[in-house]
Amino acid sequence: MKRRVTKAIFPVAGLGTRFLPATKAIPKEIMTLVDRPLIQYAIDEARAAGIREFIFVTSRGKSALEDYFDHAPQLEQALRKAGKKELLEILQSTNMDSGAIAYVRQHEARGLGHAVWCARRLIAGNEPFAVILPDDVMAAEKPVLQQMVEAYAETGGNMVAAMEVPREKVSAYGVVEIAEDMGRMVRVGGLVEKPAPEEAPSNLAVIGRYILTPQILRHLNRKKVGAGGEIQLTDAIAAEVGGQGVYAYRFEGERYDCGSKAGFLEATVSFALAREDLGADFRRFLEGIVARSNAAE
Ligand code: G1P
């Protein structure tokens, strides 16, 4: 098995109903954190980790995503003419190489495992691949997928990103059964998708970054239905515990759950505060409104 990871699957077929009415007309992945679409953060993280081929699993109503990744020659021309070099650079940094992106449609909403399975023909029989859930936005000095690719070069097998969550929250996640705890790295003895807190094997939760062997796609072929009546990626990975092995990697960094409104707002505020061009003024503004609202209480 070669260990270089150069392809990533981005499941983006979800309807984004939690963000209605915004998502009535635009895909959730185009919604912006400060001034960049959610999907751009996932792409940048993948690129930093050495990903060269990007596979999007989409659905009806997602064509704005394809337009977003297209080059924009007229816009580039206008910016060039106007001498707006910085904006031109920002625009060009989102350009993708021709042939580097593939789109696959998921025709029915049958779960994350099914979405990944839809991309099976684009993954060769012996190559590992990454899966990135763009809803999980990561802020880290070294991009999280890069941390994992480096760790994976040592371990091989399958790897999921993981972090401790409060016990009462485990039913929102895939949860790890710890076979051996080596600190940053955990050898996984089992995985359970969305367990009840009292049944969860630990409070170590799977976060949306994966490096997987093609064997996972073979498990998904069985179309076994799991939690919530959906075909779960977690179940297919669990089936490899006794096969090529599964590791959970406690990443360094901050994770924002941008699948929820609260998480999206937290990411927005935190990313705005971290920006050189906006941070100082925005901090003063926030301090002001917090002070006023405290005084009014
Ligand atoms: C998915 C996975 C789950 C994982 C989570 C991380 O769930 O099925 O195992 O813990 O992403 O964000 P979802 O959030 O799509 O329900």
| Distance (Å, whole) CA 101 – CA 35 | 23
Q: What is the pLDDT of residue 296?
A: 87
∠ Cα 238 241 242 (to 5°): 130
Cα 67 to Cα 94: distance, rounded to the nearest angstrom: 11
What would the CATH number be for the domain defined by 7-259? 3.90.550.10
State which amino acid sits at residue 139.
Answer: A
CA 71/CA 212 separation, integer angstroms? 31
- Which residue has the CA at smallest separation from atom 11 of ligand 1? 208
pLDDT at 139 (0 to 100): 96
Rounded CA separation 37/44 (Å): 11
Phi, psi of 238, deg, nearest 5:
-60, -30
208 CA to centre of ligand 1 in angstroms: 6
State the Cα–Cα distance between residues 43 and 112, nearest whole angstrom. Answer: 19
Task: Determine the atom of ligand 1 nearest the C-alpha atom of 172.
Answer: 16
Q: Is the peptide bond before 21 cis (omega within 30 degrees of 0)?
A: yes
Residues within a 6 A CB radius of ligand 1: 112, 133, 136, 173-174, 193, 205-208, 233-234, 259
Contact 148, 248 (CB under 8 A): no
Report how far apart, in Å, the C-alpha atoms of 117 and of each of 172, 210, 219, 259 are.
22, 14, 9, 22
Residue-level pLDDT, tens digit, the chain, 297 residues: 557 899 999 999 988 889 999 898 899 999 999 999 999 999 999 999 999 999 999 999 888 998 898 888 999 999 999 999 999 999 988 888 888 999 999 998 899 999 999 999 999 888 999 999 999 999 999 999 999 999 999 999 999 999 999 999 999 999 999 999 999 999 999 999 999 999 999 999 999 999 999 999 999 998 888 999 999 999 999 999 999 999 999 999 999 999 999 999 999 999 999 999 999 999 999 999 999 989 988
**What is the reported pTM?**
0.95
Q: Which of 114, 133, 163, 210 to mutate to test the pocket of ligand 1 (most atoms within 8 A of CB)?
A: 133
What separation in angstroms does the CA of 133 have from each of 98, 147, 193, 255, 280?
A: 23, 16, 16, 12, 31
Q: Are 181 and 247 spatial neighbours (Cβ–Cβ below 8 Å)?
A: no
Determine the atom of ligand 1 nearest the C-alpha atom of 259.
Answer: 14
Token reading at 102: 């593939």
Q: Where are the domains of the chain?
A: 7-259, 260-297
Burial (CB count <10 Å: 0-12, 13-18, 19+), residue 295: exposed
User: For position 140, what pLDDT does the model report?
Assistant: 96
